[in-house]
Structure 1
Amino acid sequence: MLASPSALERIKLPVKAKGIYITGRTVSNSKFSRLLKLVNETELNAMVIDIKEDEGRLTYQSAIPLVKEIKSDQTKFIPDLDDVMHTLQANNVYTIARVVCFKDPLLARKMPEWAMQKKTGGIWVDRKGVAWIDPYRKEVWEYNVAIAKEAAKKGFREIQFDYVRFPDNGKRVDEEVNFYQQEGIAKDMLIAEFLAYAKKELEPYHVYVSADVFGLVPSVPDDMGIGQKWDLVSPTVDYLSPMMYPSHYANGTYGLRVPDAQPYETIFHSLQDAQRKDARLQKRRATPATIRPWYQDFTARWVKGHIVYGPREVTAQIKAGRALGVDQYLIWDASNTYSEAAWKKENEQ
């Protein structure tokens, strides 16, 4: 088993992370070596690795009692996480553990009383038939934070909470779901409370804490019905990662006919809104999280008027961030097939 990092290694030195997303499957196949080489030879320096993914499955063998009880680590996409961490540490890769929180159909099946319950009885599912866990259940907080703690013990330097929200189409959800002991606590307050709880629980492990939010969150005044409100979430974490995939903005957003076809402009407008909200937080003497956006490296063929994404489009997004002083970023492609030509050593640019 991997020994705990030394005190020196645990000093929380700030890192300007420039990373790519890695699935558990990728960690265990030949593609991983190629991506590690990419990180070693370019300005990239970080990997966001699935530890608990969208189906609720852990990607490694866990020692957490509840995980063993419900068998949520049976797939073992990563047979030897300790060995992987040794390799990443030897290559000076900044490691971020992705923990998907409230979208957890596996936990909903195994612990149905923790799932969102319909007012008419039974487990609520979204339009795709996926069951979600009720964020008002504190047992769910403890479960996800236990996984985060285990990732920290394995040597990850940052914990990133994803799907730290309620399902979309919030009005319908509110009409159909009987939340557990809601007691007047608004959804946006609850999400902020969970993140504050997680950060406090993780303090002894000397890891950074981050959260993913919808890309539109910086640009709207409310919580979009999903419990993600910039002003509430930002002060609770170290890094905040709005998922600013141009394909995910409706045509016409920011006055752009097809945001997907204008990656630079889309990122620029969205980040400007985020910075304005941060400035307002600072005026109120609050400390906002460092902005580290997610950028798109996939082609959204379902979008009318879409363009093919490659090195030029990835670079356009990175340049938009840099124009506003945002020099950290994460790159998403679900298949982990990245536009490698988009990156060069900073001193070569």
Structure 2
Amino acid sequence: MKLARQAGALLLSAATLSRGLFAQQLPSSPDKLQLRGVELRYVLPEPLFDNEQTSEPIKALYVNAWAFGSTKLAQLVRLADSTEINAFVVDVKDDTGCLLYPSDVKVAEEIGATKCVRTRDVESRLDTLRAHDIYAIARIVVAKDPLLAERRPHWSVQNRDGSGLWRDRIGTAWVDAYNDSVWIYAALLAREAVKLGFNEVQFDYVRFPDEPKEAMAEAVFAARKHGETQREGVQAGIAILTHRIQPLGVPVTFDIFGLTSSATGDLGIGQVWEDFVSVADVVLPMVYPSHYYRGSYGLAWPNGEPYRVVRYALSEALERSRTLAKAATIRPYLQAFTLGRRKPRYTPHEIREQIRAAEELGIDTWVLWNPRSVYQRDSLRPYREQAATIPDGSQ
């Protein structure tokens, strides 16, 4: 993938009908229409788009929309050129509901999501990534969308007392994950991203809010069918996304809580490991050590044990996946940030320990997450050392 890098090409100047009422957008001449429980699914003989795929293991950086739309992109491209990084995960819709670029999706226009875009030259920036053989992954947040919630209250979680929108502990409104329209909106944005040239689509916040039971007791989900569980709501959403995105010819991937690999239930958010792994192309468990409670895996302070946390979590993930006839690729999100004042500070050592844990299990694909998109070069292998043998450091 990095032939352009080796050639020294630098083009940075170019870049310096069910529960929801949503119009189904079908191809002009579909070969076949099949009616499914939650939506109309169309089946095509071949992919709609011919976006280039890669056989190389993805080693990616999360790039927020602000970074992608600014001069910071040039810095990140240079970092990728000189290291093992070969992909960027870019926010197309983040957890504010704002978009990366102006959209032609009707709902996005109606709610004002096109008025808070982060860049207006997305195509030239994607061209730059292609020139540097950087695989572009579109990240789309689904249920945590305060902009959509405010502008489409009938699609949103409401307060039980009738006072308006329900909000989480930090005051953020959520859309109703039982409402099909929410998922169809995300699918339409994904289709647009693929048409623009993104190689892969990644959905995040494919779940219900992770709030205390007392808070969730005050939340009303109007689109919920009688007796429907959160898990069933998420399953229906996954079906909508996969049925709409798979015909496009790009991988369908999902970010999920790291704890799903060891949990016996749905964590109160509707996420169960097998529900994702059995249908997706890739699942991305967020196995950040800072997000595990004291005592997890028998560790007094998980944040201080990056190698062990990642190793334990991914071992359980692999074990659960082995029981399935079809299982998605596991591509973990790894912690490249320090959470508040928690110790230790996450230096290249802590980051490499997580990568080592994954690679020792045979997982050679991962994404580093830093919410500010700030990465330390020493966390990454130089490009010339990518093929080096991983030292045996099993513990």
Q: TM-score category by the smaller chain?
A: over 0.9
In the alignment, is the contact (CA less than 8 A) between 1:213 and 1:240 conserved in 2? yes
Matched, 1:157 2:171: no
Q: Which runs of 5+ in 1 are unaligned?
A: 1-5
Q: 2:334 aligns with which of 295, 298, 318?
A: 295
Structure 2, gaps ≥5 residues long: 1-46, 390-395
Asked whether the 8 Å contact 2:102–2:120 carries over to 1, the reply is yes
Partner of 1:235: 278
CA shift at 1:232, angstroms?
1.2
| Per-residue deviation, residues 10-31 of structure 1 (Å, max 9, x unmatched) | 3655441110000111112222
Counterparts of 1:98-109 in structure 2, within 5 Å, are 98-109=139-150
Q: 1:313 matched to which residue of 2? A: 350
Identity %: 36
1:130–1:70 Cα change, 3 Å? same
Which of the two has higher C-alpha Rg?
2
TM-score, normalised to structure 1's length?
Answer: 0.93
Q: Distance in 1 between matches of 2:304 and 2:61?
A: 22
Tell me: CA distance 1:64–1:14, structure 2 relative to 1, closer, same or farther (3 Å).
same
How far has the Cα of 1:202 moved from its partner? 1.2
Q: Which structure 2 residues correspond to residues 58-137 of structure 1 after superposition, within 5 A?
A: 58-121=99-162, 122-137=164-179
Q: In the alignment, which residue of structure 2 is the partner of 1:3?
A: none
Aligned length: 338
2:255, 2:283 within 8 Å by CA — same for their partners in 1? yes
**Deviation above 3 Å: which 4+ runs of structure 1?**
6-15
Whole-Å separation in 1 of the counterparts to 2:245 and 2:50:
16
CA shift, 1:189, in A, is: 2.1
Contact 2:69 2:118 in 1 (8 A): yes
Q: Deviations over 1:311-345 (max 9, x none)?
A: 11111100000111111000000111102112123
In structure 2, give the amino acid aligned to 1:341.
Answer: D
The question of 1:347 aligning with 2:390 is answered no
CA apart distance, 1:157: 1.0
Distance in 2 (alpha carbons) for counterparts of 1:234 and 1:120: 38
Q: Which amino acid aligns with 1:125?
A: R
Describe the shift of the 1:37–1:12 C-alpha distance in structure 2 as closer, same or farther (beyond 3 A).
Answer: closer
Distance in 1, matches of 2:212 and 2:239, equals 23
Take 2:338 and 2:223, find their aligned partners in 1: how far apart are those partners? Answer: 42
2: CA distance, partners of 1:7 / 1:198: 16
Distance 1:279 1:66 in 2: 40
Give the secondary structure class of the aligned counterpart of 2:171: coil
TM-score (norm 2): 0.82
User: After the TM superposition, which residues 134-283 of structure 1 pair with which residues of structure 2 at under 5 Å, given as runs?
Assistant: 134-169=176-211, 171-183=213-225, 184-280=227-323, 282=324
User: Secondary structure in 2 aligned to 1:308?
Assistant: coil
Deviates most, 179-188 or 67-76: 179-188
Distance in 2, matches of 1:130 and 1:11, equals 37
